[in-house]
Structure 1
Amino acid sequence: MTSHAIAHKALSKLLDAGTRRRIRTAAGDTVAASAITVVFSEAKLPEYIELDSSEELERVHAEIREAERAGALRIEWDSAAGRFGQISRIVLSNIEALASFLNVTPQWVHIERAMQLSTPWRGQPAVDAIRAAWVRNTKVRNLGPRDAERLVEACRVLDRVRQATDAAVETPVRRLSADMFGDTKHIENALVPILDELTRGDEPPVSEVEAVLPRIGLVKHPQTLLIGGRGTLVLTNGQRITLTPPYLGIAPDQLARIDGPAPDHVLTIENLTTFNEVSRGLNEFTDAMVIYTAGMPSPSLRRALRCIAKCCSNHTRFWHWGDIDEGGLRIAKIVAASIAEESMPERILRPWLMDPCRLPETVRQAPGSYRQIRRMVAMAEELGWCEVATGIREMPSMVEQEAISPRTPF
């Protein structure tokens, strides 16, 4: 154990160099078999060269010689300075002994522990990518090998969700969190980024609870399918319910199909306030259906959207209206994927009031960053919304849906 700052710095630099070598070797990198050293020069360790007190110099030497006696290193002395007058460099002999001498847990121990803890999920691409990053001592979503328990907890959560007896029904996140961790908010507070990393695929990383949890089947409370328009809802138990103004709500997993003439238009709406306003404007002559996505639609609500889309004709036009921001466009991508039908390649999701250039200046807000705008443009292009992408590029801004006076494309 060292007490002098200069001795501690020199020994820590030697340990760090040895740790980097060991980590690179474990990662399979080709590493030269050269000695691991710290040179006591003006460039590498100026504090040592600038010492002007023989007493201070002797204290530094004494502590480093103690590390040498512990078998951690070998000292090479500067012959020009006389016997034990000045150190030229120190050479690593035994990295475990050096770590023990400094009384620290070396990073490779954390890495080896992380590899051991995550072994049950080895073979899953996202887990393997995290393990590979950690072997190189690189953090993922601000988590490193020391945080391996977080990865394990997230994998256990996903296992529990996948093992649910009824995949059509979402799991209340706080009940699951209390059951697994004894804390109702642990999943929301500690695991959302790593859960996103494990499940996002090729999508950009996000950390918002509302964007991540519904995607994997976790909800604060079960979502309700709110739907306005004309037709008869047929439930899984065979019960038939006629849609009445302004809208009806059912558990999304209970919808089997919708009977009646296919609507000319289907409009999905992200926010509840706007949905209420639009649905109350429908009448018996409006040949349209309005659906509330409840923000980011959960898996069961996505299944209901697919069910509704299958009951529509190839002449039905599908529209989406949501916030003009990353979250809103991410929701639009989920909706578009939900209504897609291989047998109807002409079916597309059209944007409604989502081009900032076509909206009043008073509702446009400054974007958080240029990077955010680039991601928004990319998502609009993926949706095939070229005008929206151009509008966001030319008029970088975000718009909350509730700021726009409601109107519809029908």
Structure 2
Amino acid sequence: MSAEVARALLHLLLDRLEQSPDRKRLPAASPPESFADAAAREAFGQILEDARRAGAVEVQRGKRELRHLIQRVTLADSASLRRFLGRMPSDRIAASLVDELQMQLPDLDPETVDALNALQAGWVLQRKPFGVPPELKAARAFLVALDAVLRRDPLDRHDLRTFSRKATGDSKLIERQRGPLVAWMKTKGRVPPELSGEELLAAVGLVKCAHPVLVAGPVQVRGADMSRLAYCGIAPEDVNGVDLAGAMASLLIIENFASFNRHVHEARGDAEIVVYSGGFPSRVVLQMIRRLVEVFGVQAWHWGDIDAGGVKIADHIARQAAPGLRLHLMTPDLARRFGTRAPPEPALAALSSASEVASLGKFLAEEGAAHLEQEEIDPAPVAVAIPGRSVSSDERVDGEG
């Protein structure tokens, strides 16, 4: 057992060397403070002495009466230690794995190739990029799943497992690779890093069963007039069949379901279409917003929480579907008056999608920031033509009537 402890310590020296990007400083390690008995200490010392004689390490012992005790072990020559342990260098292990993966997966999307290069760079440093260890089976599964996601047709409407089966031959492969895929998305900046795994996958259309888009207002779906309903659920495959069923003045996107319900029943105007984003919007929700904005040229507004999550949702919608997005009931003044003080989040100052979104991000990034959940505010009609404001002229807040 002590021999195994000694070998583990020697492996640790190589680990520390390979984990260092410059690999110039020779690592050292200290032995355990105690052993089961004298025989165990002797067995431990014998392995280290053999490694010293092989020119692999330097062994520092105590002075005088402590000369029999090993105090520190320092790497002397990495090649000698690898020979002593029978261990390949991490760069050779990584290169060998990459060669095999390239043989097995010769036609990868360029972004998947970039991911493979990132895996190799991480493995050389004894890391697990995107949570993927230097193992052929694990790396292959991740790359196959990522490649399928990157190549997916934007118009594909299959549920997650059906898509996975058709694209990879395994109905659960992409689901099993959710962790590494989410890590890759976050690393690439495709989606806000604070989202959950389910939200991240939904953002790229990877859900077990795609949800309908909840819409209220003057719309018709493949000729069926929905304008008399409080709201309706439009299936993903029918989004491109949505047309106007009457005059349309504005589009309001609402983050939370309670506020969506209240606005639809209490404040929606006859010429207003309201879309429920479902928190962070899925790809299908973005498709609906994009159609209403691009095809019909409608002005889009967004109502959500005044906090980091809310402003990032608005920013994502502005970037992906509604470049001129404006904010409704989302002002610093409302947050100060009815919200709670919050610490500044400087990263939010970098938002630069739509002017009002960027302005709210700057407010949340500086001292004096405040958060406000949208349920705290009564719904109000959208102010279509009030320059410089993101709240209607007949603003109503709980407690004010």
For residue 319 of structure 1, report the CA deviation from its aligned partner. Answer: 0.7
1:194 aligns to 2:166 (yes or no): no
Write the mapping of 1:3-402 to structure 2, written as runs, cut at 5 A.
3=3, 11-12=10-11, 14-16=13-15, 19=18, 62-67=46-51, 73=56, 91-92=76-77, 94-100=80-86, 107-108=90-91, 111-112=94-95, 115-116=98-99, 119=102, 120=105, 121=108, 123-124=110-111, 125-141=114-130, 143=131, 145-146=133-134, 152-161=140-149, 167-173=154-160, 180=170, 186-188=176-178, 190-191=179-180, 193-197=182-186, 200-201=189-190, 205-230=193-218, 232-235=219-222, 239-254=223-238, 255-259=240-244, 262-281=247-266, 286-313=270-297, 316-340=298-322, 348-359=324-335, 363-364=339-340, 366=342, 373-379=345-351, 381-385=352-356, 386-392=358-364, 393-402=366-375
Tell me, in whole angstroms, the C-alpha distance in 1 between the residues paired with 2:60 and 2:147. 58
TM-score (norm 2): 0.70
Could you report, residue by residue, the CA deviation over 1:90-141 in whole angstroms, capped at 9, with x for unpaired residues?
74353433324xxx78755763465356543584234433433333334545
Tell me, in whole angstroms, the C-alpha distance in 2 between the residues paired with 1:118 and 1:198. 22
Tell me, in whole angstroms, the C-alpha distance in 1 between the residues paired with 2:328 and 2:307. 14
For residue 215 of structure 1, report the CA deviation from its aligned partner. Answer: 2.1
Given that residues 213 and 284 in structure 2 are in contact (C-alpha distance below 8 angstroms), is that contact kept between their aligned partners in structure 1? Answer: no
Could you report, residue by residue, the CA deviation over 1:6-62 in whole angstroms, capped at 9, with x for unpaired residues?
x558634653466468xx6xxxx7x77xxx977xxxxx67779xxxxx999976653
Percent identity of equivalent pairs:
23
1:258 partner amino acid: D
TM-score (norm 1): 0.68
2:355 partner amino acid: G
Tell me, in whole angstroms, the C-alpha distance in 2 between the residues paired with 1:173 and 1:400. 32
Aligned residue pairs total 364
Tell me, in whole angstroms, the C-alpha distance in 2 between the residues paired with 1:163 and 1:358. 44
For residue 349 of structure 1, report the CA deviation from its aligned partner. Answer: 0.6
For residue 401 of structure 1, report the CA deviation from its aligned partner. Answer: 2.5
Residue equivalent to 2:382: 409
For residue 175 of structure 1, report the CA deviation from its aligned partner. Answer: 6.2
- The alignment's C-alpha RMSD in Å is 4.6
Could you report, residue by residue, the CA deviation over 1:255-292 in whole angstroms, capped at 9, with x for unpaired residues?
33423555222111112221111112356x63322111
Higher-RCO chain (CA-CA 8 Å, sequence separation at least 6): 1
Could you report, residue by residue, the CA deviation over 1:367-391 in whole angstroms, capped at 9, with x for unpaired residues?
6xx5xx2233333x44322541343
Tell me: CA distance 1:174–1:91, structure 2 relative to 1, closer, same or farther (3 Å).
Answer: same
For residue 173 of structure 1, report the CA deviation from its aligned partner. Answer: 3.6
Tell me, in whole angstroms, the C-alpha distance in 2 between the residues paired with 1:251 and 1:309. 19
**Which segments of 5 or more consecutive residues in structure 1 lack a partner in the other structure?**
39-43, 49-53, 341-346
For residue 312 of structure 1, report the CA deviation from its aligned partner. Answer: 2.9
Tell me: CA distance 1:310–1:273, structure 2 relative to 1, closer, same or farther (3 Å).
Answer: same
